[in-house]
Every structure is written in C-alpha cells, then in structure tokens.
Amino acid sequence: MQYHLDTIPVWEAMEWKGECPLCSLERKTEVEEIERTLGASVMEPDVRIRFNERGVCGRPQQMLFAQQNKLGHSLLMDSHVKAQLAALQALQKKVEGAQPARHSLFGKGSTTTAVADELKALQSHCVVCEAIDTHMRRYRDTFLHLWKTNSDFRSAWKQSSGVCLPHLQALLETGSGVLSPDQQNEFAAQALAFLTERLSNDEKDLDWFIRKFDYRFLAEPWGESKTAVERTVNRLRGWCVGNEPYPQKR
C-alpha cells in the first residue's frame, strides 16, 4: 500500500519537531524536486516534454537558478521557450486574422479578453508545484491514516506543535476520504486547539517583542519573543520566513 511507502517521511517530519511537520515535509519535497529536475532527469525525454508543455512558475524558478547549474537550467528553458514561442506565434496569427468584434474568431466577448485568457493559460501550470502537490496529497492521506491507526503517532501528535493554518485546512479537506465523521470531528477539535493555543502564545510574544522597543523595558529579558514574527507568519501562512523547517537545509 502507498501508506507504507509514505510513513517513513511522515514520521521523520514529526521527529524534526518543527512548528508544523507538514511545512517541514513540504520543504523537503520541494528541495528534492528541484534537485531532481536539474539532475540526471534533465536529459530524460519525458521530463523535457512535460517541462516544455507546462513550464515552472516563479518560486521554483528562483530555486532552480540558485542551484548554480546554468547549463541544466538553460537546456530546460531553451526547450520550453520554443514551445511558448510556437504557441504565441499561433495566437498572433489568430489575432491578426480576426474580423471586427462581431465576427471575432474567439467567439463572444472582446478579442483582447480572449487573448488575455489564452495568455493566462500559457502560464497557469508548473511541473514542480504539480509534483509537490501530488506528493503532499499522499502525505496528508498517510498522516491521517497514521493518526487513525497508530497509537504511537497519536502520542507524537499530542506532543507536537500541531500544524499551520494552511495545512490544517488541507488536512481537513483530505479527512473526508480517510476518517469517519466522528474521527474528522475529533481530529479537527484537536488541531484547532493546538493552533489557537500556539497562536495565543505567538501573540503574547509579539506583544512583548513590541514592548521591548520601549525604553522602560530595555532591561527586561526577551524570552521567546525574538522569533515571534517568524512563528506567527509561518503559522498563519505556512513556512515562508525564518529558519529552514527541513533540517538538511539549515
């Protein structure tokens, strides 16, 4: 079963004891997918075909560029830009051959709106993000399956910091296919309790962080407040600032 294949990385993410195990797991998956994209697979025909058709969006492009493998990156982009150019040239001919709006080749509505829609479609995919989403769907299934069936995992979960707001939403959406209605309610209650408790602590630390800039509190200890901004941002939006959640990248 796929559950058995995915339990090891899910358990590893719990053992890293970060603020959100799914943020840690998503970052690990992201790093591995970037390395795979610019690794030996860059010369594999099926990889090149998918890259040509779908491309890569902004953040993964930044990560690909940061790998300093400009030859591999340029090979991928050269193939992709040729595919994009062909699509753009076909669109250009279609626009140039269009009649006045009432006879538009694009059907009802303005030609420019239809062109904008086709341009949007050219940039609406990302092979890296789509691969990450596929992995994360499996990991969420496995996470909830372990919560449902494994007492040790439940104990680890109860001792954890819970999950961030975006990953809680994703887990609850996944839950209908893995948990019974009663189990869904139980998990939601636990996860929401974790999240509200952690956010309450974050808010107190934020308040103290702000107070520390008042001269009256200069001599007082910082406590945990120095990381309050990062923790709050990451808990509300998923990891995006501060220390790496994936230990091998720290």
Residue 154 per-residue DSSP state: H
Q: Which two three-digit tokens encode residue 165?
A: 């707001």
C-alpha pair distances (Å), 41 with each of 12, 33, 73, 81, 221: 26, 11, 12, 19, 52
Split into its structural domains, the chain has a count of: 1
Residues spanned by the domain of 76: 2-249
**Spatial distance between the Cα atoms of 90 and 84, rounded to a whole number of angstroms:** 10
Mean pLDDT of the chain, nearest integer: 91
Asked if the model's pLDDT at residue 63 lies above 50, the reply is: yes
Is the pLDDT at 1 greater than 50? The verdict is no
pTM: 0.87
Contact, 20 vs 230, CB < 8 A? no
- Assign 235 a pLDDT band (cuts: 50, 70, 90): very high
Question: What's the pLDDT tens digit per position in 196-227?
Answer: 999 999 999 999 999 999 999 999 999 999 99
Whether 234 and 242 have beta carbons less than 8 Å apart is answered as: yes
**Res. 49 pLDDT band, cuts 50 70 90:** confident
**Whether residue 105 has pLDDT greater than 70:** no
The conformation of residue 227, written as its DSSP 8-state character, comes to G
Tokens for 11?
């358990």
